Structure 1
Amino acid sequence: MPLYKSISVNSQTTVKIWKIEESYDDLLQPLDLKSESLERVLSMKSELHQRGFLSVRHLLREFGYTDQNLFYDVNGKPHLKDGRHISITHSFTFSGVIISDKEVGIDIEKQRHKIAIIAKKFVDYEFNYLDENADDYVQKLTVIWGIKESLYKLFATPGMLFKDHFLVIPFMLEDKQTVAWIDYEDKKYRYNTAFLAFEGFTCAYVIP
């Protein structure tokens, strides 16, 4: 399947999501990969990861870019050669890319009950408004994780901790948006966040 969803966040920012239904060969065939990208995809042990990697390159094409336009810094953060900002995610059968004139982050996660088991590792302040007996507990945890993962990708600073440095303001699932903060080394940064659910997955993304 080609493009699954395209979201115009604002005049400078677009999110595109791909549902990965093609075979590895069908995804690889039309792409012009850099030698290091081809080496990377061939070294992946899981075909699911290979297809995720390749589907992201198809999303780049949807934006008018190719694999040649993309590079990674020492922290593993992706960049575009023209100076626009990009963030990338893939999870099982979905991948996503956000591109903007501003710093951005995106994450897609499968909604799974096991997130409740690890909640204490990434949730602190948010326990004040979460109800672990509520029907939407797993979905809300998945949103919080996705937002914090997106913030981490945007900031790309080693040493940051989801639990200690990231804060997600109370929200309802139907709001589809909330505000998040980074509180790090005596500085505070505010971010607008949005999230959506589809086919048992949650996508979250953040912009300043």
Structure 2
Amino acid sequence: MGLVKIKNVQNGKIGFWKISHDDDLKFAETIFTSYHPNWKNYRNNKRRHQILATRLLAHELCSKNDIKQNEFGKPYLISGTDFISISNDNNYIALLLSNHPCGIDLQSVNTKILKIASKFQNKNDFIQNNKIQELTQLWAAKEAMYKVYGTPTILFKQHLTIEQKSSNEFIGFCAHPHIKFQCKINMYSFKNYLLAFTSEIIDH
């Protein structure tokens, strides 16, 4: 299926890609070659396809650039002033291109979230129950927020708190000792997926 949609959002745009057998993987091998340059070393065919499909999606949004990853795996554009964030789940890929530090996360809604809720949910978060949909919202929001800076010492349960403003708008707070900021987080749903992305850094 390939490119599903490009959506304009505050301060940037989001691209969606659905992996399919029709993806032009030969072309993908020739573009954005700094993004996972050793992709052939992956034994998992699905992971290799995922990397190449991400290159194809990036080509749709910022064709004259390339993507590298820092020592923590956070992607960044090698030229220009824009920022980038990438997420994938099963056969879908989402890419956020923004004019400020940003984060995006794509999550399928399923019962697996119940097993890890205690690792990321704190007493100040907007929910205090075990509803799968809301827990997935919380997880996706924290993932998107974490990706703004991608610092491994930021802990989801201890440092990140999410407040809900409406059904699809949230505010995230980071209380890391050395990294303090707030951000707006928007949430969309499609099929059995939730997509969370930061739309504005309020204070940092």
TM-score interval for Structure 1 and Structure 2 normalised by the shorter chain: 0.7 to 0.9
Find the counterpart in structure 1 of residue 117 from structure 2: 119
Relative to total residues, which structure has the larger helix share, 1 or 2? 1
CA distance in 2, matches of 1:99, 1:36: 17
- The answer (yes or no) to whether the contact 2:32–2:67 under 8 Å persists in 1 is no
Q: Which residue of 2 aligns with 1:97?
A: 95
Deviations 1:76-106, CA, capped at 9 Å, x for gaps: 2111122310001111110010011100001
Q: What does 1:60-71 correspond to in 2, within 5 Å?
A: 60-65=58-63, 69-71=66-68
- Displacement of 1:75: 2.0
Determine whether 1:192 maps to 2:190: no
Partner of 1:21: 20
Matched residue of 1:193: which SS?
Answer: strand
CA positional deviation for 1:55: 1.4
CA displacement at 1:185 relative to structure 2: 0.6
Report the AA paired with residue 65 of structure 1. S
Once the 2 structures are TM-superposed, how far is the Cα of residue 52 of structure 1 from its aligned partner?
1.6
- Tell me how large the CA RMSD over aligned residues is: 2.1
Unaligned runs of 5+ in 2: none
Shift of 1:65: 2.1
Which of these residues, 67, 71, 76, is aligned with residue 73 of structure 2?
Answer: 76
Aligned position for 1:150: 144
Whether the 8 Å contact between 1:15 and 1:99 is mirrored in structure 2 is yes
1:59–1:127 CA distance, 2 compared to 1 (3 A): same
Give distance in 1, aligned partners of 2:81 and 2:34. Answer: 21
Q: Quick one: structure 1 residues 43 and 37, their matched pair in 2 at CA, closer, same or farther if it must change by over 3 Å?
A: farther
- Secondary structure in structure 2 of the residue aligned to 1:29: helix
Three-state SS of the structure 1 residue aligned to 2:148 is helix
Q: Secondary structure at the match of 2:147?
A: helix
Which of structure 1's runs of 4+ aligned residues deviate more than 6 A? none
Q: Distance in 2 between matches of 1:38 and 1:86?
A: 15
Letter of the 1:90 partner, please give it.
Answer: N
Question: What secondary structure does 2:17 align onto?
Answer: strand
Query: How many residues are treated as equivalent by the alignment?
Result: 198
Cα distance in structure 2, aligned partners of 1:38 and 1:128: 37
C-alpha displacement at 1:115, in angstroms? 0.5
Cα deviation for residue 42 of structure 1 reads 1.2
TM-score, normalised on structure 2?
A: 0.87
Q: Distance in 1 between matches of 2:62 and 2:134?
A: 34
Of the candidates 91, 95, 106, which is equivalent to residue 104 of structure 2? 106
| 8 A contact 2:34–2:68 mirrored in 1 | no
TM-superposed CA distance for 1:188, in Å, is 3.4
Post-superposition Cα deviations, 1:119-153, rounded to whole Å, max 9, x if no partner, equal 00010135663332xxxx21111111111111211
Q: Which amino acid aligns with 2:183?
A: Y
Q: Per-residue deviation at 1:39?
A: 5.0
Structure 2 residue identity aligned to 1:73: N
SS in structure 2 of the partner of residue 17 of structure 1: strand
Q: What letter corresponds to residue 165 of structure 1 in structure 2?
A: H
Q: Compute the displacement of 1:163 (Å).
A: 0.3
In the alignment, what sits opposite 1:40?
Answer: 38
